[in-house]
Chain A
Amino acid sequence: MPFYVSPEQIMKDKADYARKGIARGRSAVVLQYDGGILFVADNMSRTLHKISELYDRIAFAAVGRYNEFENLRLAGVRIADSTGYAYDRRDVTGQALANAYAQHLGTVFTESSKPWEVEIVVAEVGDSADTDQIYRITFDGSVVDERDFVAMGGSAERVTGALRERYDKDASLADALSAAMHALTHENGEQRELEAAGLEVAVLERAREHRKFRRIQGPRLNRLIEQVRGGGGGESEDGGESAEAGDDGAQS
């Protein structure tokens, strides 16, 4: 039996499907702070990451279906490493990676019956806060060049609203984490208490040499959260954090 569905309807159905899929998962936020860019994801797993390093100054954060964004992550690492090897390390840019992801997701969205249920951020830390770049790429391949902060996932709007209340571009790492955690507790309207074990935290640290990406986990994360709970301040600890050697974030 022949039937007709308008292109508008097909696209709308696909978009609704993808949105629903993404909304099932928990949120992630990306925000600038005084030393670079902070990534915080609500993630119970210690090994299946939502936040990863792509290249020297570039990191990736994603929400949605794990196997789909993991494929995107692998592709990003491959594109970055082959570009850096063929040309120079400085020639690998967040913008080129964002474009590659947008191309791919856009094509999948229009050509396949099932769109990918993912939303990702590609962020590149620059030499100064003005040259930081944060790109948000959605399931249909649209790219938005974001300023200051982004929230994505489950109830992105509510999380964004909560983040806007507390956001400060010149905040220390502890204050930025405090704002991010405050925002993430607004998931689905429920007021949850966030624990270190349920958080994935990483930074692109401007002052760091070679590779700027570093995971913050274990005792370091506990200390930082303690500070957040103890009143949100803590400029002093900030310097100590970055001076601490040995546990290289890129390693973990």
Chain B
Amino acid sequence: MSEAFEGSGRLAAAFVNRGTSSFIDFLGAVNPDLLPGRREPFQGDSSRLTPEATTIVALTFPGGVVLAGDRRATSGNIIANRDMDKLFRTDEFSAVAIAGAAGIGIELAKLFQVELEHYEKMEGRSLSLEGKANRLSTMIRGNLAMAMQGFVVVPLLVGYDDSREEGRIFSYDAVGGRYEEHRYHSIGSGSVYARGALKKLYRDDLDEEGAAVAALQSLYDAADDDSATGGPDVYRKIFPLVDVITDDGHRRLPAEDVERLAESVVQGRSERPDGPTAPLR
């Protein structure tokens, strides 16, 4: 914290002056080295420098939104980590999940979390959900140079919008494009399979547990067909992580609840390996 003081012992002007309510702008002024995206681009082949995080799914239900992620990180055809946490609570009413370059993604999620809290404390009120979504856009755009080097990070933002009293989902592309998704969405290498599953399982009247089960089913399908996505690991007791956001705020489903739901999904698959079916008509 030494940079907080001027030589005399006073707090440096950047700390005391009214200035900005953005943590990123503040850090850019006093300690830019800590910010991602301001570094020299890497030279040469950097594709193996950070493992990849894969499938994330999100779906809304009346009164909230569910976000779930598998636990696998891969480096080429190596499993780099079996119990990775790709979901980040960013404030009371929002969460971010990452797919793509894991190292950069975690850093970005952490910075986004501080950014939201910092704004809230400085201004005495939180950003609107739209405001949060746009702020994340800018941050992804700031990572463009790294994305060009192969360190693409694609986040998925979910949140409870108290002005509309519903859960909302925002997806992003590598250049910071922001797209609102309706009902459900999935990102990562297994997302095509997960999205297919969600398309069949999604209903407008799901409750919280129903939405969580649909998320687990879709992650199972992603793991089934995508080698970079981890399925439920019943021997090591490693199951997907599931976050729920409602007007009560953000909550991570307790491990034992997820375990119970995941085991029922696995049990169902022992009878029907391809999972539940939707009615034909």
Contact = CB atoms under 8 A, between A and B. Distances in A.
Contacts of B10: 103-104, 107-108, 111
B121 A100 contact: no
Interface string A55-69: 000000000000000
A82 B3 CA distance: 11
Interface string A76-112: 0111011111100000000010001001101110010
Nearest to B113: A85
A83 B27 CA distance: 11
Nearest to A103: B9
Contacts of B117: 81, 211
B110 A85 contact: yes
B46 to A, nearest CB: 24
A113 interface: no
A248 B11 contact: no
A156 B240 CA distance: 55
Contact of A85 (B17, B114, B122): B114
Interface in B71-123: 89, 92, 110-111, 114, 117-118, 120-122
Given A86-B34, A100-B1, A106-B9, A79 B15 contact: yes
Interface in A217-252: 245-246, 248, 250-252
B8 A77 contact: no
Contact of A77 (B11, B30, B122, B249): B122
A40 to B, nearest CB: 18
A79 B4 contact: yes
Given A71-B16, A74-B16, A82 B9 contact: no
Nearest to B5: A103
A103 B9 CA distance: 6
Contacts, number: 92
A49 interface: yes
B102 to A, nearest CB: 19
A248 B27 CA distance: 27
Given A83-B1, A251-B120, A75 B11 contact: yes
Contact of B118 (A47, A81, A245): A81
A75 B9 contact: no
B124 interface: yes
Nearest to A92: B1
Nearest to A76: B15
A108 B117 CA distance: 30
B50 interface: no
A72 B16 CA distance: 6
A139 to B, nearest CB: 14
Contacts of A53: 121
Contacts of B118: 77-78, 81
B26 interface: yes
A47 B124 contact: yes
B253 to A, nearest CB: 14
B17 A107 contact: no
B15 A75 contact: yes
A85 B15 contact: no
A246 B248 contact: yes
Contacts of B1: 79, 82-83, 96, 100
A70 B19 CA distance: 12
B17 A71 contact: yes
A107 B124 contact: no
A79 B30 CA distance: 11
Interface in B11-46: 11, 14-19, 23, 26-27, 30-31, 34
Given A77-B122, A104-B10, 13 more contacts: A49-B124, A74-B15, A74-B17, A74-B122, A75-B11, A77-B118, A78-B4, A78-B14, A81-B23, A83-B1, A86-B31, A107-B8, A210-B92
Interface of B: 1, 4-5, 8-11, 14-19, 23, 26-27, 30-31, 34, 89, 92, 110-111, 114, 117-118, 120-122, 124-126, 247-249
